[in-house]
Structure 1
């Protein structure tokens, strides 16, 4: 069964594009077939960074006449999708999911929502809304982004959210922090992670930090069991793209 990976967060500044780029690099490094999808019309960071890939584009809009995403499920029958979602798209995305989920299993399509959080109340409240709507329909993974926060006390304090997470068996992973200098360079130069770890104009220690970050991120992704057919013991050769 093919899978649609929704890289979500529904809030700006939580690191959705960074996590999505890392997930894409994971699929590339492990020679996994996939179709990348950019759904951010105004700031398509992921499509710009991985511009050599054959991106598909989608639009989720409060005006259903402007939503352009019905092709995604047909694409997912052929290969898994990784969808980079913009901020503040929760309502139109949920409306689309209501219809897409109706007979998705009959079409051989499953879903996973990777929900990126910074640990603030607003971010976690948006996750609770997502869980209340579709937590019983498909797996949700809460991604604690240590690159934007190291305070997760709010998560521990939200009793209703934690009960909901337990009910729906939500998996929680720690997405590692790439040190500021290397993270800033990746974004400033619009590098893929493959380019960053092989950049000759970086000190060897900087390249090591990128490689270590990727190893830790990949381990976190794999721990969920939500990425299938992965040859973990035999990663693909390093690619520049």
Structure 2
């Protein structure tokens, strides 16, 4: 059974493409076949770093969006990663509703994951609330990513009615640790995959490579929690990873 991962958050700059890249590297390291789609026409970050796995996607073009279904049909064993640019939810939602996309995936036996990547701002909470309301289907798995690289204090979210609402939808809440800013910049300027960042001795020194490895391992532990056991009934889980800014 394949899985379909819509990685969004609607807000720009919260780390959607970073999460898509991280999930792609997780699948590569785990020898899990996948196909990626990059809807950010202005930056194309996902396809820039993982060009052998991701292709452009236009959310304003049904022919382009329909290709997601075609790939799911022709490669039923593949996970699909759809990296959604900011402010694309309305057009995506229209395509999903008009084409009964989730019904198609259900018939195929594909499980749907909706990822909401967020910073610690109030608007990120309201956007999550809107996302939960937009997809009332009970068979959808929501994953909320609290990105410490884009926020330092998520207490307001965890004490909010929206967090309780996410819990009622059986969402998984994970915390994505912060990677050292200069290290992130080095990875980006050299167009490195996370595998290269963890292993390239010519561009990364030993402490840098190790920081990337530890960051990946902590993220992978959380991914394992809801991807390796996604068919088992489980309660909502909030799993913490450490902040690596001080390393």
TM range (shorter): 0.7 to 0.9
- The alignment's TM-score, normalised by the length of structure 1, stands at 0.86
CA distance in 1, matches of 2:54, 2:167: 35
Which has the higher relative contact order, 1 or 2, with Cα contacts under 8 A spaced 6 or more apart? Answer: 1
Single out whichever of 142-151 and 89-98 deviates more from structure 2: 89-98
Which residues of structure 2 form unaligned runs of 5+? Answer: 232-247
Note closer, same or farther for the CA distance 1:104–1:203 as it changes in structure 2 (3 Å cut): closer
* Residue in 2 that maps onto 1:205: 207
CA distance in 2, matches of 1:68, 1:158: 38
Q: Cα deviation per residue 1:66-117 (whole Å; 9 max; x = unaligned)?
A: 6620121231231211111100111112222222013421122221011101
1:1-241 to structure 2, matched below 5 A, reads 1-51=1-51, 53-61=52-60, 68-77=64-73, 78=75, 79-98=78-97, 99-137=100-138, 138-159=140-161, 161-200=162-201, 201-225=203-227
* Number of equivalences: 224
Shift of 1:227: 7.1
Q: Cα deviation per residue 1:176-222 (whole Å; 9 max; x = unaligned)?
A: 11112211111121111111111223221111101101101111111
Shift of 1:171: 0.9
CA distance in 2, matches of 1:152, 1:18: 19
Note closer, same or farther for the CA distance 1:226–1:135 as it changes in structure 2 (3 Å cut): farther
Note closer, same or farther for the CA distance 1:73–1:226 as it changes in structure 2 (3 Å cut): farther
Note closer, same or farther for the CA distance 1:176–1:135 as it changes in structure 2 (3 Å cut): farther
SS in 1 for 2:81: strand
CA distance in 2, matches of 1:80, 1:101: 15
Does structure 1 retain, via aligned residues, the 8 Å contact 2:34–2:53?
A: no
* RMSD between aligned residues: 1.9
Q: Cα deviation per residue 1:152-173 (whole Å; 9 max; x = unaligned)?
A: 13203422x1332122111101
SS in 2 for 1:102: helix
Note closer, same or farther for the CA distance 1:182–1:91 as it changes in structure 2 (3 Å cut): same
- The alignment's TM-score, normalised by the length of structure 2, stands at 0.84
SS in 1 for 2:126: helix
Does structure 2 retain, via aligned residues, the 8 Å contact 1:60–1:67?
A: no
Does structure 2 retain, via aligned residues, the 8 Å contact 1:37–1:83?
A: yes
